[in-house]
Chain A
Amino acid sequence: MLEQQLVNALTLGSVYALFSLGFTLVFGVLEVINLSHGAMFMAGSFAALTVVTRLKAPLAVGILAAMLVSGLLGLAIDALILKRLRARHAPHLIPMIATIGATTVLTSAAQGLFGVEVQRFPDELLPTREFIFGSVHVRALELAIVGIAFLLMTTLFLVLRHTRQGRALRAIAESPKAAALLGINVEGLFLATSFTAAALGGVAGLLIGLNFNSVTPLMGQPILHKGIAVVILGGMGDIRGALFGGLFLGFAEVLSKAYLSSQMGDAVAFGLLFLILLVRPAGLFGRVLERKA
């Protein structure tokens, strides 16, 4: 029983981590709390669902569609809204409010386009195989979710660590001004960051949509709150913190649902977040890992 819960927790936790990674990346580089990240999650899920059901495309194409649609939406929000606010040096709260507005627009658009009812992926598309390890049943779908999440996260880590663009991004995270003086195309990388973060959010949305086989216009809201919890848990702007925080929240949520109360799982997560904020506003790993991105 415990092993089974751990599998569920790992699945959920890896998607939380993937979602929060984009969220924290934007905060680390752009110093913006982009509250439209939940809408990217929702948009990715709907993009994949549309491609898969309307165009009868395979699931792999759905993943690409999720990344592309969410990424472009994130790019548009950056180019149309955040860029102007950056130019004005608007205080922190202003982009938060603007991205809340963008979320409302996108959620409302999704409700208009797809209706408010829960939509499902066609069953024949989902992998149905199950692997049995001793007493633990692992669905192929769960393996794929964990695999895709970790693949994308590892790619991001490698890009940030070893490529020219990654180093430039880390320089921007330290100081955009100094980075610009060094000849780094700061605006271009801001846009690229927004695209990447939103694309990761979109894939996370698709993965959750597949895991629970449910896609709705409002699905971005709860995950956004959890993303905020994870990012605070791991330290705002801290990439490794987001990974650990995401996994931690996944385990905390699943285990408290299983062993404490089925309803209170979310309350545990947010109660924990609330406590952490009071004790360590910089996050659990805030002091230990100081690098921002």
Chain B
Amino acid sequence: MEAFADFWATYSTLIFTVGIHALLALSLWLTLSCGLLSLANAAFMGIGAYTAALLTLHLHWPFPMVLAAGALAPAAVALVIGAPTLRLSGVYLAMATLAFGEVTRILVLNLEITGGPEGLNGIPLLTTWWHILLILAAAGYALARLRRSRMGRAFEAIREDEVAARMMGIDVEGHKLAAFTLGAVLAGLAGALNAHSTFFISPREYGFENAVDILTMTILGGISSLIGPVLGATILTLLPELLRFLHAYRLAVNGLILIAVVLFLPTGLWDSRRLRQLVGAWRTRREGKP
């Protein structure tokens, strides 16, 4: 038991981070499932984190309500900016969401209430391991149900071919806005949980690099299933810890992984179809032997 206590004392922050990153990767998975490459999810996470932290620090709201507000605030922003932004497609959408992320970061950096570049300090550590686990499990379940629902299939149709989807009578704009907003909900939740597990937050944690990190995790894992993003988040969070001996060169490994995945594993590590084929091939070989 004591060994476990030691282990927990050393690694609990890391485990929390894995969970929060997994939630973020799922939030981007949701946006990507509708074919939207958004670089705004880091900003949504930031909006969630700041909203939640300010409510806790100044208004002393109970934690569940804080979490709900942390999820809803970025969703409201996503609804407002989504309507005009989502008319853009492909690289233009990526650029617009990047610009939105920068505007958000610079605003947070310069506003009085957000504490400027120093950020917010002394946020009570209210997040526990089961909060993260529960929310992650609930999000995973909800997304799994969503995939098999009418809405999830509409997302997929839009991702594959927008024009064809429109011809089938799918409300393309509405579904895109829904995917964007729901992604913001998950990112905001991740931000609210993160703010209450790290004691302090600053604008630096929600910039372009973080948007890229989220993207890397999701792409590394692969977006063909929900396991991919979670796997990607876990690997990329734990990897820097294992690579401590590389010091400053540690991040280079992340970059090399990203390049290698894009070049050699375009569908990510966890590709359900490829796995099924592998398992199938293995079975036939075993059964083929007398």
Asked if A107 is an interface residue, CB under 8 A from chain B, the answer is yes
The smallest beta-carbon distance between A64 and chain B, in angstroms, is 27
Asked if A14 is an interface residue, CB under 8 A from chain B, the answer is no
Taking residues whose C-beta sits less than 8 angstroms from the other chain, chain B's interface range is 35 or more
* Contacts A102-B259, A228-B95, A278-B85 given; does A267 touch B106 at CB 8 Å: yes
Q: Does B255 lie within 8 Å of A102, measured CB to CB?
A: yes
Q: Which residue of chain A has its CB nearest to the CB of B219?
A: A97
**Complex partner residue of A270 from B37, B102, B212, B256, CB under 8 angstroms:** B102
* Contacts A101-B255, A267-B103, A267-B107 given; does A108 touch B248 at CB 8 Å: yes
The main secondary structure of chain A at its interface with chain B is: helix
Contact with A along B60-96 (1 / 0, CB 8 A): 0000000000000000000000001101101110111
Q: Does B252 lie within 8 Å of A109, measured CB to CB?
A: yes
**Complex partner residue of A94 from B96, B100, B249, B266, CB under 8 angstroms:** B266
* Contacts A101-B255, A277-B96 given; does A263 touch B208 at CB 8 Å: no
Q: Does B262 lie within 8 Å of A101, measured CB to CB?
A: yes
- Of residues 90 through 116 on chain B, the ones whose CB sits less than 8 Å from some CB of chain A are 90-92, 94-96, 98-100, 102-103, 106-107, 109-110
Taking residues whose C-beta sits less than 8 angstroms from the other chain, chain A's interface range is 35 or more
Asked if A171 is an interface residue, CB under 8 A from chain B, the answer is no
Asked if A33 is an interface residue, CB under 8 A from chain B, the answer is yes
Contact with B along A80-101 (1 / 0, CB 8 A): 0100110010101110111011
Assembly CA distance A103 to B215 (angstroms): 14
Asked if A154 is an interface residue, CB under 8 A from chain B, the answer is no
The smallest beta-carbon distance between A77 and chain B, in angstroms, is 9
Q: Does A112 lie within 8 Å of B247, measured CB to CB?
A: yes
Chosen A-B contacts, 29 in total, with CB atoms closer than 8 Å, are: A33-B94, A85-B262, A85-B263, A90-B262, A92-B90, A93-B37, A98-B262, A101-B262, A104-B255, A104-B258, A105-B255, A105-B256, A108-B248, A108-B249, A109-B249, A111-B251, A112-B248, A232-B95, A267-B103, A270-B102, A270-B103, A270-B106, A277-B92, A277-B95, A277-B96, A277-B99, A278-B84, A278-B96, A281-B92
For the complex with contacts A221-B208, A225-B208, 4 further pairs of A-B residues with Cβ separation under 8 Å are A96-B94, A100-B255, A101-B258, A271-B103
Q: Which residues from chain B sit less than 8 Å from chain A, CB to CB?
A: 37, 84-85, 87-88, 90-92, 94-96, 98-100, 102-103, 106-107, 109-110, 208-209, 212, 215-216, 219, 247-252, 254-259, 262-263, 266
